[in-house]
Amino acid sequence: MAGFNLVELMATLVVIGVLLGVGLPAINRFVESNRLTSATNNLISDLSVARTEAVKRGLRVGVCTSTDASTCSASTWERGWLVFVDKDGNSAWTAGTDEVVRARESLPGSMAASSVLSTGGGINLSLYDRQGAVPALRATDTDDAIEYSFCNTKLGRGRKVTVNEFGRHTLANIDC
């Protein structure tokens, strides 16, 4: 007679259950780790686009927090951000005048993001000048930098992107 008896079927189900019990947490960590890497890489890409556009166009280009992917807002980075060309030169987002180059939607719920000046104080807008530098940092005599931190609450770790006065960035792993 062909087929499976009850003992063989139960043994197979136990093996599948053990494999799922061991494999699913690893898959969840993998997915959360990829979310962290993706969010960080998206910001690095957008900062690079802003810097390149500023040099190419000879105008200031900004990266700011946004809740609707079409305008800058006083929000947090996990709600989203956009890259814009400051066509009117006022060093701020102006609806109807400034041009959106790229926009990002909000991050997954397990992600938290923030940015601060290394000497203290939050920041929700960074601008690049026509030389690709960050004018707000060049105006100070300190070794100030903008630090963007991404934390994945499920992993308990994150990544920090630091932008110096010349517009260059570095990347480091951090604990959250």
Domain-located, residue 1? no
Share of the chain above pLDDT 90, in %: 47
Domain-located, residue 142? yes
Could you tell me the pTM of the whole model? 0.83
What is the number of structural domains in the chain?
1
DSSP state at residue 126? E
Domain that holds residue 143: 6-175
Domain-located, residue 64? yes
Domain-located, residue 63? yes
Tell me the pLDDT of the chain averaged across its residues. 88
Degrees to nearest 5, angle at CA 100 with 55 and 132 = 20
Sign of dihedral through CA atoms 172, 120, 78, 44? negative
Give the contacts of 127 (CB within 8 A, at least 6 positions apart): 60, 61, 62, 86, 91, 134, 135, 136
pLDDT tens by residue, 121-158: 777 888 999 999 988 776 666 678 899 999 999 989 99
- Does residue 163 register a pLDDT over 90? yes
What CATH number corresponds to the domain at position 157?
3.55.40.10
Domain-located, residue 104? yes
